Structure 1
Amino acid sequence: MSAARPRSTRLIVALDTKDPAQAVAWREATAASAGAVKLGLEFTYAQGLDAVRDVAGTRPLFLDLKLHDIPNTVASAIGSLARLRPAMLTIHAAGGRAMIAAARRAIDESFPSGERPLLLAVTVLTSLDATALHETGVESDVADQVVRLGRLAMSAGADGLVCSSHEIRLLRDALGDDPVLVVPGIRPAGSAAGDQKRIMTPAQARDAGADWIVVGRPITRAADPAAQAAAIAAELSA
């Protein structure tokens, strides 16, 4: 079992909207508390890559497009994303070893050495529980599948993993401190779970060993997003 270690857990604010002006407003409101912003499928499909670059501005960008296709297509897509200079980008670990390795090569070839984003492999979506996973034909339980995909992704060249908070300790035990763990499905105490099935509070995720937590609606739907982001950042640093 891996030894616990002090770690600094930082906040990523998910700018989940189709509206560039709203995304910029949230970015600015949370800039003092968040280490990065997330833009994903909703915004990118609605507004395009130039808008992604403009909305991110000078903030570190977690580009969450969850690429999942044949290796050559994923590699080519990553080459097309290089102009955005994201700090992190996501692929699906379920795409397999060859796809993950192709993504690794594409990053190394498409980005200057000092500007290469972290390649993060999504294990099992936080909206899936055991029943939903079994419906897809995966007979393993969620924890086993997360560890299996985590081992695969890291051995194929990923820098880290996207996992639910409930699998952080399992991955630390299995893989140690090397993987950067980015954890969505975080809900401050009293927040609605929404469509997330496997959730924790910010402090619980920090204590379990998360490097980054991703929080969207509890911040962006709050009456005062800046205050909510500051409260979460304070909880992480307590």
Structure 2
Amino acid sequence: MSTIKQRQLDPLYLALDLENKSHVTDFIEQHQLKGVPVKVGMELFYREGPEIIYELRERGHHIFLDLKLHDIPATVKRAMSNLAKLDVDVVNVHAQGGRKMIEAAREGLERASSETRPLLLAVTQLTSTDQTMLEDELLVHKAMPQVVGHYAKTAQQSGADGVVCSVQEVETIKQSCGHSFLTLTPGIRLTSGEVQDQKRVATPNIAGKTGSDAIVVGRSITAAEQPSAAYQKIKEEFEHGRQITRSTST
């Protein structure tokens, strides 16, 4: 691997699951969330394209570009080179794409980066996937923690900096891959929040206690009566959980 430095992971990313750029900028300004780390997903990026990235960078936001690439290695390599030029901080692929695809993604990022490159994460299993779906639809007849752990180890050996996983698998991944291997966990809800389409969920405090390095939160903030207060509460709960983990491990 090259000596190009990697970007850093922020503890909390606000998922901008909003309709368009106008809604995004209005929401950020209205609720005093300028400069917070954000996640841009498929819906927003496919509607607005690179312009939404330029706009957010100009406003001082760190960006997790969540496109979950999954294609043949050559295509992913070229795509990652293009994404690296957008100057985002975190990108991802599907771990199911396998070793050669993940290696190609890392090569594409390094080829297009100068001094620093985006962090490369691999999605193990979506938080909407449960054991029943894993077996009945994907025909994977192994326990979820075993599948996720195997994908994480393969991703690590292929050059990924970490994985996107549910909170339930963080401890297993840290044990097999080491604590420096990053875990970013979506599916975060406040105790009173609705689960909706996600099945493997957790509170910010539990995510912190379990050892997650970062969390992604959308609806618990964007649908809150006071999004700024919700953002701060979630960040504080997560950090409190992380402090407990650090104090018990020393």
Note whether the superposition's TM-score is higher than 0.5.
Answer: yes
C-alpha RMSD of the superposition: 1.7
Give ranges in structure 2 of 5+ residues lacking alignment. Answer: 1-8, 241-250
Residues 164 and 183 of structure 1 are in contact (CA less than 8 Å); yes or no, is this contact kept in structure 2? yes
Name the CA distance, whole Å, in 1 between partners of 2:69 and 2:10: 25
- Secondary structure of the structure 1 residue equivalent to 2:75: helix
Name the CA distance, whole Å, in 2 between partners of 1:166 and 1:185: 10
- Secondary structure of the structure 2 residue equivalent to 1:84: coil
Name the CA distance, whole Å, in 1 between partners of 2:63 and 2:32: 14
Give ranges in structure 1 of 5+ residues lacking alignment. Answer: 1-7
Name the CA distance, whole Å, in 1 between partners of 2:198 and 2:27: 22
Name the CA distance, whole Å, in 2 between partners of 1:84 and 1:100: 19
Name the CA distance, whole Å, in 2 between partners of 1:193 and 1:13: 17
Q: Share of identical aligned residues, percent?
A: 39
Residues 33 and 229 of structure 1 are in contact (CA less than 8 Å); yes or no, is this contact kept in structure 2? no
Q: Which TM-score applies when normalising by structure 2? A: 0.87
State the shift of 1:72 in Å.
Answer: 0.5
Amino acid across the alignment from 1:75: K
Q: Which residue of 2 aligns with 1:94?
A: 96
Q: Which residue of 1 aligns with 2:82?
A: 80
Q: Which residue of 2 aligns with 1:132?
A: 133
Residues 130 and 141 of structure 1 are in contact (CA less than 8 Å); yes or no, is this contact kept in structure 2? yes
Amino acid across the alignment from 2:55: D
Residues 43 and 52 of structure 1 are in contact (CA less than 8 Å); yes or no, is this contact kept in structure 2? no
- Post-superposition CA distance 1:33-74 (Å, at most 9, x none): 94x100010101111112232134321100000000000000
Name the CA distance, whole Å, in 2 between partners of 1:51 and 1:9: 20
Q: 1:26 to 1:124 in 2, by over 3 A?
A: same
State the shift of 1:9 in Å.
Answer: 7.6
Name the CA distance, whole Å, in 2 between partners of 1:220 and 1:161: 25
Name the CA distance, whole Å, in 1 between partners of 2:129 and 2:183: 18
- Secondary structure of the structure 2 residue equivalent to 1:166: helix
Residues 35 and 62 of structure 2 are in contact (CA less than 8 Å); yes or no, is this contact kept in structure 1? no
Residues 189 and 201 of structure 2 are in contact (CA less than 8 Å); yes or no, is this contact kept in structure 1? yes
Q: Which TM-score applies when normalising by structure 1? A: 0.91
- Post-superposition CA distance 1:130-187 (Å, at most 9, x none): 1111111211121111001000000000001000011011111111112111000000
Residue correspondence of structure 1 range 98-177 to structure 2 within 5 A: 98-114=100-116, 116-134=117-135, 135-177=137-179
